């Protein structure tokens, strides 16, 4: 079939169209082709062969020449191209057509996709920037959420060390930390002391091993700021701060894996409010703690008892109150002196601490008398707890300085239950005190649950 060239067919095409003869010179081209090769002289375009006008990398022009002798068609392909003033990426395809009995022409379709590449790159760059922004925002929101969680947890526990252990355990689970430690400087000699630590469930380390690791870390803290090092096969990171007494304190974290930048940034963000909260908790505990026994003092006990009555009343739950009096304590002071009396009080207080749950509140009520609040406990269990504590006190063996024979002590215990024995602080204490008085009148070294019924 004879092919007649009608230039107006392609004149308005956005993409470049060119028809060439056997010598690869253009016999027709549309305005878009002239724009593509950036040539305004139409005569010059017709004089130059296409490979000279349009330099395309790795292109078989000889095959296109063959298309001027027989019918051939090329698939669409992409290639880099250059003209006298620009370069870019081109989509190219061509098809040969018979224009007479012996004459063939090749119609070439050219599409400059350089701009599409630029737009695609811009699009992907924009998507990447948005993804980075979203990632940074997610990280920021996670930090805010974790900091809020940290601050909430620091207000849950009155004892700063209990608070730290629970918080370290929480952080270990979130950030895959194997070991978290709190080290502080002693006031007397300035030495660094391991105060508390927490390991995750995967790390099976004995207490001795933990202390060995801490000892290996201490020289680095003394020499400068550990901050980030590899020690004993662990990656270590530390955060130092000074308390009101200018004592150095450290939060130290370790894990087998490397700490990421986000890990370090997150821990640093958390440790600042944590240090303030910890100092406040330690000051709070000091103000609310009996100096000799390290138990809560009478004032704090009364405050907590008021709170427990209110909270358990709102939730309609029961809790127990235990009053404990060391038997014949005046005789200990009269026989051995007040220094030995202090030793007895300390040993009894230590026994009380070991006996109590983390939620219990143990206090020195006054003199040789102690009190324990037992939250969230069934009424039927209160007496059993009192009896077990009495047995623990009775089993104590207390070495006395300059005495061959150790001292043994006993205790009388009175118990009451909220709300059966009392619905107010005064009534609840009075009920436990009355039970304690009955034990003392019955020969001491016993435990008794109040039978008083609250009005």
Q: Work out the mean pLDDT of the chain and round it to a whole number.
A: 84
Is pLDDT of 2 > 50? no
Residue 364: name the closest of 426, 412, 436, 294 by CA.
294
**Which two tokens mark 64?**
């296109």
Which of 287, 319, 339 corresponds to the end of one domain? Answer: 287
* C-alpha neighbours within 13 Å on the C-beta side of residue 248: 18
* Domain containing residue 36: CATH number: 3.30.450.20
Pair 42, 165 in one domain: no
Q: How many angstroms separate the CA atoms of 352 and 423, rounded?
A: 26
Structure confidence by residue, pLDDT tens digits, 159-215: 667 777 777 777 777 778 888 888 888 766 778 888 777 777 555 667 777 778 888
171 in a domain, yes or no? Answer: yes
pTM of the shown model: 0.52
Structure confidence by residue, pLDDT tens digits, 281-301: 777 777 888 989 999 999 989
Which of 287, 314, 334 corresponds to the end of one domain? Answer: 287
β 319-326/248-255 pair status = unpaired
Domain that holds residue 320: 298-449
Phi-psi region of 225 (alpha: psi -120 to 50; beta: other; left: phi over 0): beta
90 in a domain, yes or no? Answer: yes
59 in a domain, yes or no? Answer: yes
Pair 272, 302 in one domain: no
Q: How many angstroms separate the CA atoms of 213 and 136, rounded?
A: 35
At residue 5 the predicted structure's pLDDT band, cuts being 50, 70 and 90, is: low
Pair 306, 283 in one domain: no
> How many domains does the chain divide into?
3
At residue 6 the predicted structure's pLDDT band, cuts being 50, 70 and 90, is: low
52 in a domain, yes or no? Answer: yes
pLDDT at position 407? 93
332 in a domain, yes or no? Answer: yes
Asked if residues 105 and 97 have their Cβ atoms less than 8 Å apart, the reply is: yes
Compute the residue count for the chain.
Answer: 455
Pair 277, 177 in one domain: yes
> 283 CB contacts (<8 Å, ≥6 apart)?
none
Phi, psi of 254 (to 5 degrees): -145, 150
* Domain containing residue 239: CATH number: 3.30.450.40
Pair 191, 330 in one domain: no
Structure confidence by residue, pLDDT tens digits, 237-276: 888 888 777 778 888 888 888 888 878 887 887 787 777 7
Pair 218, 278 in one domain: yes
Q: How many angstroms separate the CA atoms of 63 and 221, rounded?
A: 76
119 in a domain, yes or no? Answer: no
Pair 275, 314 in one domain: no
Pair 235, 326 in one domain: no
Select, from the ranges 79-88, 155-164, 275-284, 438-447, the one with the highest average predicted confidence (pLDDT): 438-447
Q: How many angstroms separate the CA atoms of 304 and 223, rounded?
A: 44
Q: How many angstroms separate the CA atoms of 187 and 193, rounded?
A: 11
Is pLDDT of 146 > 50? yes
Is pLDDT of 1 > 50? no
At residue 118 the predicted structure's pLDDT band, cuts being 50, 70 and 90, is: low
124 in a domain, yes or no? Answer: no
Is pLDDT of 89 > 90? no
Pair 183, 275 in one domain: yes
Strand-pair partners of 79 = 90
Q: What percent of the chain is modeled with pLDDT above 70? A: 90
Residue 217: name the closest of 179, 262, 164 by CA.
179
Pair 233, 306 in one domain: no
pLDDT at position 428? 96
Is pLDDT of 343 > 60? yes
108 in a domain, yes or no? Answer: yes
Q: Distances from the Cα of 54 to the Cαs of 16, 146, 329, in angstroms?
A: 12, 61, 109
Pick 192 or 157 by higher pLDDT: 192
Which of 267, 287, 307 corresponds to the end of one domain? Answer: 287
Pick 343 or 119 by higher pLDDT: 343
Pair 52, 142 in one domain: no
Pair 310, 444 in one domain: yes
* Domain containing residue 429: CATH number: 3.30.70.270
């Amino acid at each position: 079939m004879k092919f007649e060239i009608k230039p107006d067919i392609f004149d308005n095409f956005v993409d470049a169209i060119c028809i060439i003869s056997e010598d690869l010179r253009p016999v027709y081209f549309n305005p878009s082709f002239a724009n593509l090769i950036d040539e305004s002289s139409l005569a010059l375009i017709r004089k130059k062969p296409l490979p000279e006008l349009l330099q395309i990398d790795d292109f078989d022009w000889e095959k296109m020449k063959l298309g001027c002798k027989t019918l051939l068609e090329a698939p669409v392909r992409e290639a880099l191209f250059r003209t006298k003033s620009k370069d870019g990426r081109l989509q190219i395809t061509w098809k040969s057509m018979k224009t007479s009995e012996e004459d063939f022409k090749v119609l070439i379709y050219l599409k400059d996709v350089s701009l599409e590449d630029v737009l695609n790159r811009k699009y992907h760059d924009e998507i990447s920037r948005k993804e980075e922004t979203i990632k940074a925002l997610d990280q920021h929101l996670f930090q805010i959420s974790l900091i809020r969680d940290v601050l909430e947890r620091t207000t849950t526990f009155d004892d700063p060390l209990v608070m730290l252990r629970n918080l370290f355990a929480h952080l270990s689970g979130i950030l895959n930390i194997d070991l978290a430690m709190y080290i502080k400087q002693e006031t007397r000699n300035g030495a660094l002391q391991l105060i508390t630590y927490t390991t995750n469930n995967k790390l099976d380390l004995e207490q001795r091993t933990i202390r060995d690791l801490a000892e290996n870390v201490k020289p680095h803290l003394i020499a400068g700021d550990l901050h980030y090092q590899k020690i004993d096969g662990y990656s270590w990171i530390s955060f130092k701060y000074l308390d009101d007494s200018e004592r150095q304190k450290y939060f130290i974290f370790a894990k087998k894996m490397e700490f990421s930048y986000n890990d370090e940034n997150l821990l640093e963000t958390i440790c600042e409010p944590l240090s303030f909260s910890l100092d406040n908790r330690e000051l709070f505990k000091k103000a609310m703690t009996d100096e000799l026994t390290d138990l809560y003092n009478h004032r704090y006990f009364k405050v907590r008892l008021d709170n427990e009555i209110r909270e358990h009343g709102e939730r309609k739950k029961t809790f127990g109150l235990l009053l404990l009096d060391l038997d014949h304590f005046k005789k200990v002071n009269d026989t051995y002196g007040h220094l030995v009396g202090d030793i007895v009080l300390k040993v009894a207080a230590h026994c009380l601490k070991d006996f109590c749950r983390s939620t219990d509140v143990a206090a020195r009520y006054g003199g040789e008398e102690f009190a324990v609040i037992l939250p969230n406990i069934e009424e039927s269990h209160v007496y059993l707890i009192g009896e077990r504590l009495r047995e623990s006190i009775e089993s104590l063996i207390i070495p006395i300085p300059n005495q061959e024979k150790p001292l043994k002590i006993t205790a009388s215990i009175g118990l009451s239950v909220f709300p059966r024995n009392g619905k107010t602080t005064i009534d609840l204490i009075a009920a436990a005190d009355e039970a304690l008085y009955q034990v003392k009148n019955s020969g001491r070294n016993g435990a008794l649950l109040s039978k008083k019924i609250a009005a």
